[in-house]
Structure 1
Amino acid sequence: MPFSRRGIFVRMVILASCIAAAGESAAQPKTPVPDAAAQQTAKKAAGELFADRFTQAKTTAEKTALATDMMDAAGRVQAGSADQYVLLKISLDVAAGTGDAATALQAVERLIEQFDEPAAELIGETLLTAARQATTSAQHKAVAEAALSIAGKLSDADQYETALRLYEAARSSAQRAKLFPLAKELTAQIEETKRQQLLSEDYRKALSVLEDKPTDPEANLAAGRHLCFVKGNWARGVPMLALGSKPPPPPNTRRLPKRP
């Protein structure tokens, strides 16, 4: 499958929306991930069906074609079955293993549409694998551009560790593709994500304090800063910032001794 910048951009938008929607109630319940026994049976069937292709696929193009054909096969089996899950998962692994982020993300998209997989973790790990395996400038470019969008959504979902790992991998890919302005932008995002991570840690600590001391100034200040400046939730954050403003010390009411 030829590299398509438009295709991967559209896929990034869809996957970013999946991350943003994580934790919200889905309109339709998703299929649980098949158990280990069912997956093992499906893997055996897939291995037999594509045995010759696995043996013959040596080049990146051949492996990408194999991944694409396995995705096509997944569309012809029963929706939500172990066979479908395994075909998509193997397709994802094959594509990511060749550094083909676009094809791997296509498999991810179909997996998280049908199955109850953790979207943020799956997307992040897929891009990290593609980044490690990328060899061409086009592959590194695709990884860097995709990661820039996805890592931001991971940060929004409080997945800071995965976001930082992805930003670091994306910066390395951008440098290898000689996309130096993008590498500079990713460096700035890394620093910003580290700042957000620290504020998030302070926020969690502050919430713990506020359970027992709802008017504690320092805890309100930390919580308010996180809500306003990281999450953009000014409606909740501003009242906390107000409570976090330390009141002026009480006036000295002691009477000075009268001078003789």
Structure 2
Amino acid sequence: MPSPEDQKRAEATVRELFKKELSEAKLPAQKLALADKLFQEAQATKDDPAAAYVLFGMASALAAAGGDLTTSIEMIETAAGRFEMNSASLKLDVLNKALPGLRSGPQPALLAYELADLALNVMEDAILTDQIELAVEAYKLASGIVKRSGDNDLTQEVLSRNHCIQVFQKQYEAFRAAEKQLSVHPDDPAAHATLGRWHCFLKGLWEKGLPHLARAQPAELAALAQADLQSPENPKEQFQLAERWLQYAESESEEAKGHIQLRAAHWYRQALPDLSGLEKLTAQKQLEKLPTVPPLFTRRERGEVVPGNVALQIAGAQVTGTNTTGTYLIDGAISESSIARGTSPVTWTIVLPKLYRLREIRLLLVDPHRVRPRHYGYIIAVSKDGKRFVPLVDRSKGQWMGWQVIDFPARPVRAIQLIGLRESGER
């Protein structure tokens, strides 16, 4: 990361170069436009690290000031890919500065959702980088405001992380003490055991933790880790390694057991294609019983970010619903000959080919006859799993016509439900 002196010099230069734009960026849209401009400049600046760093920071701050917290966070993540920086701390700072908007902003429920959702992501990032105090702060932010979002799924997700954060808090002091001990006594087996358990059994970071477990006590655990580090290719050895991990899991705490069982499942899956007889049957049965996600800590599904329209039939999207004209919603054509229609109420569900992170939905309400303007009423709901839907926008009242652009805080979406409630022509 550039020195404070270089940052100060670069900031003075950037502010002078963009003096006019910075003074004129008063409205949210103007701030967002300038944020994008500075972000593009930051990415293009290769020969002046200090200037690039300052440009990233100013772009992120402007995006947040313009009301787009998700973009602000994404800009920090891009900068973190280029500079060594505490990105989790910077992200949390952005979220804390946005909290007053819950009292004075125009859409407090949407802001509460975005803040809680992003705070959970910061909590995960902080745990993975061993910044537990920061993770606790992020969790407190999320848990303190999530109910204001009105989103039951997100509320339950936040509350379900309470046990996770408590476990990491409880183990954190021992983890730091073990790190300090190894800096003085690098062969201490007890300290290696503590670090290995922290990374493997609590976080599931086996590549980082196995070298510690291989030097740990008890000897049984060290031998097991050493065998795992050998990455056996023989299916019988892989099967035996899975069996050993599964047996060892019974000697550990409930918090640790989940990741150990997942490690056993990993080796069962590696061995299964080349096994036969009772070993094959055993591996199949164990895989049916073993968990697929750890009970304590796993990263959230955030959804893939793809520019452009992902709700297209040619991209793999599908439609189910009241009638087959719903396929016109995803054919990519905008013409009067390809209109989804039906007698209200009508419901269509667009199922996307994978989980995407969406922030905008566009819908064209067509007036096919043009004799007199037609208006519509509708509701849009979204789902992360294609089963449980959360209302996104309720436009059952009012006169809605033409292009509908629904902007919302970025969220993972697998399915979109469109409910047509009324139309002035009663069709």
User: Shorter-chain-normalised TM-score: which range?
Assistant: 0.5 to 0.7
Q: Distance in 2 between matches of 1:39 and 1:224?
A: 38
Where structure 1 has 5 or more consecutive residues not aligned to the other structure, the ranges are 1-32, 246-260
Q: Distance in 2 between matches of 1:149 and 1:126?
A: 13
Q: Distance in 2 between matches of 1:81 and 1:222?
A: 38
CA shift, 1:71, in A, is: 1.0
Question: Cα–Cα, structure 1 residues 132 and 221, in superposed 2: closer, same or farther, change >3 Å?
Answer: farther
Question: Cα–Cα, structure 1 residues 72 and 173, in superposed 2: closer, same or farther, change >3 Å?
Answer: farther
Amino acid at match of 1:113: G
Question: Cα–Cα, structure 1 residues 228 and 107, in superposed 2: closer, same or farther, change >3 Å?
Answer: closer
1:36-86 CA-to-partner distances (Å, cap 9, x unmatched) read 333223222222232233223223222222211211222343444322221
Residue 194 (structure 1) aligns with: 166
Q: Secondary structure at the match of 1:114?
A: coil
Matched, 1:61 2:29: yes
Amino acid at match of 1:164: V
Equivalent positions of 1:74-223 (< 5 A) are 74-131=42-99, 133=101, 135=105, 136=107, 137-205=109-177
Q: Secondary structure at the match of 2:161?
A: helix
Amino acid at match of 1:168: K
Q: Distance in 2 between matches of 1:82 and 1:206?
A: 36
CA shift, 1:104, in A, is: 0.8
Moved more, 124-133 or 195-204: 124-133
Question: Cα–Cα, structure 1 residues 65 and 225, in superposed 2: closer, same or farther, change >3 Å?
Answer: same
Question: Cα–Cα, structure 1 residues 163 and 98, in superposed 2: closer, same or farther, change >3 Å?
Answer: farther
Question: Cα–Cα, structure 1 residues 241 and 175, in superposed 2: closer, same or farther, change >3 Å?
Answer: farther
Q: Secondary structure at the match of 2:76?
A: helix
Amino acid at match of 1:200: Y
Q: Distance in 1 between matches of 2:196 and 2:79?
A: 38
Which is helix-richer, 1 or 2?
1
CA shift, 1:90, in A, is: 1.0
CA shift, 1:125, in A, is: 3.1
CA shift, 1:193, in A, is: 0.7
CA shift, 1:231, in A, is: 3.6
Contact 2:189–2:217 under 8 Å retained in 1: no
Contact 1:99–1:131 under 8 Å retained in 2: no
Contact 1:99–1:129 under 8 Å retained in 2: no
1:123-175 CA-to-partner distances (Å, cap 9, x unmatched) read 34334434555633434323322332331231132211111111222234422
Matched, 1:42 2:45: no
Higher radius of gyration, 1 or 2: 2
Q: Distance in 1 between matches of 2:21 and 2:192?
A: 60
Q: Aligned residues, how many? A: 210
TM-score by length of 1: 0.63
CA shift, 1:203, in A, is: 4.2
Q: Distance in 2 between matches of 1:75 and 1:45?
A: 17
Identity %, equivalent residues: 26
Q: Secondary structure at the match of 2:13?
A: helix
Question: Cα–Cα, structure 1 residues 138 and 80, in superposed 2: closer, same or farther, change >3 Å?
Answer: farther
Contact 1:92–1:108 under 8 Å retained in 2: yes
Amino acid at match of 1:121: S
Question: Cα–Cα, structure 1 residues 149 and 76, in superposed 2: closer, same or farther, change >3 Å?
Answer: closer
Contact 2:101–2:111 under 8 Å retained in 1: no
Contact 2:123–2:135 under 8 Å retained in 1: yes
CA-atom RMSD, angstroms? 3.7
Contact 2:193–2:217 under 8 Å retained in 1: no
CA shift, 1:93, in A, is: 1.8
Q: Secondary structure at the match of 1:75?
A: helix
- 1 or 2 for the larger relative contact order (CA 8 Å, sep ≥6)? 1
Q: Distance in 1 between matches of 2:17 and 2:189?
A: 65
